[in-house]
Amino acid sequence: MKELNEAIAKGGGEHVELPKLEEDKIYEKFVKTAIILTLTVGVTFGAIILSYIAIRLNFNSIYYALIQAHGHAQLYGWVGLCIMGFSLYIIPRVKNTELRSRNLTSICYVLIVASLVLRTTIQPLSFPGTRFLLPISSICETVSICLFVLIILRTILASKEKKGIFDKFFKAGVIWFLISTGLNFAMVMYIYKHALLEIPRAVFSPYVHLYLFGFVCMFIFAINIRTVYAFLDIKPVREKPVNLTFWILNLSIPVYFVTQMLADKSNVALRFSQFIVFPMAFAILAFIYGLRVFERSTRELHDVVMDRSYTKTIRTAYIWLIISTMILLVIPFLGHGSEMQKRFHGSLNHALTVGFITMMIIGYASKMIPTFKGINMHSQKMSDLTFILINVGCFLRVFSQILVGVSGKKLFYATMGTSGWFELAALGLFGYNLWKTMNTTQVVKPAEAKKLLEVTKDTKVFDIVDAYPETLQVFIDFGFSQMANPVMRNTMGRVASIEMATRMHNVDMDKFIKALNDKIAVKS
C-alpha cells in the first residue's frame, strides 16, 4: 500500500498502456463437452436403464457392461471433464501464476474425448471386429490424463505463492487420478485380452470408489478449502480436522480398494473392508466440521450486493455427502454380497455422484462462470428449478432404492424408475442455462446507451450511477454503503438489479425507485 500511495502522490507520469484483458475460456470446451456427454450416454442412458430395471422389477435384468459404459461416461465424461476444465482455469488463479504448457491442453482435450466416445460405444458391443478399439481408447485416455497432470503439476510448482493447506489436496487428487487411470488401463486390457464385455464387479465397484474418494473428493475438497469461506461468507477452515481428513482418507482409500477386491475370497480381507469404512466416514465428517459449511455467516460481506443462490446448492451438496457417509456406515452390517447390500451400495453411489459431486459442479459452475465473465447466469428461474428437480430425483432414487433393498415392493421400484427423468430434466435445464451463459459476452454499452430515462426494478445498479453519478448519494442514504466503492460498483454493480439489491437489503423497492427517479428527474 505504501508503494501504491507513493505512486499516486507522484501523480501519473509516463502513459502506461493497460493490456486489454482477454477473457480466458480454457474451461469452456471441457465443460460444454461434459454437458453433451452427460445428456447423452450419461444421465439419459442411466434413466433408461433405471426405468427398464423398474419395469422388470429386477436389477440383474440389464447386462452389466451397459451399466459400466454409463458409469465410465459419467466418471470421466461428466465429472472428469468438468474437473479438468475448471482446474485449468482455477489453479493458475489460486496459485497466482500463469498456466504452464497451455498449448498441450487441446491435445489433452481431443484425446480424452476420443477415448470416451470409443470406450462407451465399443465396450458394451460384442462385435470382434471393433474390439481392437478398446485398448486404443485406453491409450488415448492415459496419454490425455498424463498431459493434464503434467500441466497442473508444472503450474503448481512454478508458483511462488505461499503454500496453503489446499495444495496437498490438489497433489493427492492428481496422484489418485493417475492411479485410477492406470487401473482403468489394466481393466480394459484384461477384458480385451479375455474377450469379455464387462469388468468383474469385484474390481469395478471398488475402483469406482477409489476414483470418487481419491481423485474427485480431493479436488473438490481442495477448491472448497480455498473458496468456500469467501463464497459462503464464513470463517476460514479449521486446519486441524482438515489435516486429519487428508491423512486418514489417503491412507484408508488403498486399504479399502484392496480389501474390497479380495472380500469374496478372504474372510480377513472382508473384515478389513468392513472395518476401514469407519475411519473413512470419520475423515469425511471431520472435513465438513473443519470446512464450517453449516456455520453462520460472519456477515463480513453482508453488504456486498451479489447473487448468492449458489450457497444453498453448496450446502445441500454437503447434506448429500453426509447421507452417503451414513449409508457407507450401514453397508458392513448387511450380508456381504446380498441383494440388499447391492441396493444400498447403488444408493451410496448415487448420493455421492449426484447428491454431492454433481450438485457441487452445478453450484460452483453457477457461481464461477458468471463471475469469470462479469455477467449474470442466463436464467435465475432455471437455476432454481434445476435445484428442485435434481434434489427430488436424487431423493427418490437414493431412498426408493434402499426401500427396494429392504422390502422389494413394486411401489418403490416405480418411484425409483421415475427418479432418473427428474435428474435428466434438471441437468438438461442446467446444461442449457450454463451454455447460454458461456455464450454471452459482457455487454460494453455504447455511449448513447447512457440515455437511461427511468429506473425500474430490472435496471442494473451500475447503469444508474454510471448515467447519473448524483444518484450515488441516494444509494448511500438507503444503506448501500458499499456503493461508495468503485470496484464494487464496477463488478457486483454490473450484475445486481434494483430488485436484487433491495431484496438483499430489505429496502422498500418502490420507495427506493421513486427516490432515484426523483433524483434523475431533477437533472433531465
Residues that bind ligand HEM (CB under 6 A): 43, 46-47, 49-50, 67, 70-71, 74-75, 78-79, 204-205, 208, 346, 349, 353-354, 357-358, 420, 423
Residue 406 Cβ, how far from ligand HEM at the closest point, in Å? 15
Pair 83, 216: CB distance under 8 Å: yes
CB nearer ligand HEM, residue 50 or residue 293 = 50
The residue length of the chain stands at 524
Residue 182 Cβ, how far from ligand HEM at the closest point, in Å? 18
Rounded CA separation 399/418 (Å): 13
Type and span of the H or E element at 393:
helix 380-407
CB nearer ligand HEM, residue 47 or residue 99 = 47
Residue 390 Cβ, how far from ligand HEM at the closest point, in Å? 8
CB nearer ligand HEM, residue 367 or residue 397 = 397
Q: For residue 292, give Cα distances in angstroms to 199, 231, 281.
A: 40, 12, 17
Rounded CA separation 253/280 (Å): 8
Residue 74 Cβ, how far from ligand HEM at the closest point, in Å? 3
Residue 208 Cβ, how far from ligand HEM at the closest point, in Å? 4
CB nearer ligand HEM, residue 79 or residue 249 = 79
**N- to C-terminal Cα distance for the chain?**
41
Q: For residue 187, give Cα distances in angstroms to 180, 202, 322, 342.
A: 10, 12, 31, 21
Backbone φ and ψ for 460, nearest 5 degrees, come out as -75, 140
Rounded CA separation 499/273 (Å): 54
DSSP 507: -
Residue 495 Cβ, how far from ligand HEM at the closest point, in Å? 29
Amino acid at 218: M
Amino acid at 97: T
Extract the C-alpha cell encoding 11.
Answer: 501523480
Extract the C-alpha cell encoding 270.
Answer: 472382508
CB nearer ligand HEM, residue 427 or residue 500 = 427
Extract the C-alpha cell encoding 59.
Answer: 436389477
CB nearer ligand HEM, residue 325 or residue 419 = 419
Rounded CA separation 184/140 (Å): 12
Q: Which residue is it, cell 496453503?
A: 164
Residue 323 Cβ, how far from ligand HEM at the closest point, in Å? 15
Rounded CA separation 135/309 (Å): 44
Residue 72 Cβ, how far from ligand HEM at the closest point, in Å? 7
Residue 505 Cβ, how far from ligand HEM at the closest point, in Å? 37
Q: Which residue is it, cell 478449502?
A: 225
CB nearer ligand HEM, residue 386 or residue 471 = 386
CA 400 from chain center: how many Å?
25
Pair 305, 501: CB distance under 8 Å: yes
CB nearer ligand HEM, residue 75 or residue 360 = 75
CB nearer ligand HEM, residue 311 or residue 353 = 353
Q: How far is it between the farthest Cα atoms of the chain?
A: 85
Residue 471 Cβ, how far from ligand HEM at the closest point, in Å? 47
CB nearer ligand HEM, residue 357 or residue 461 = 357
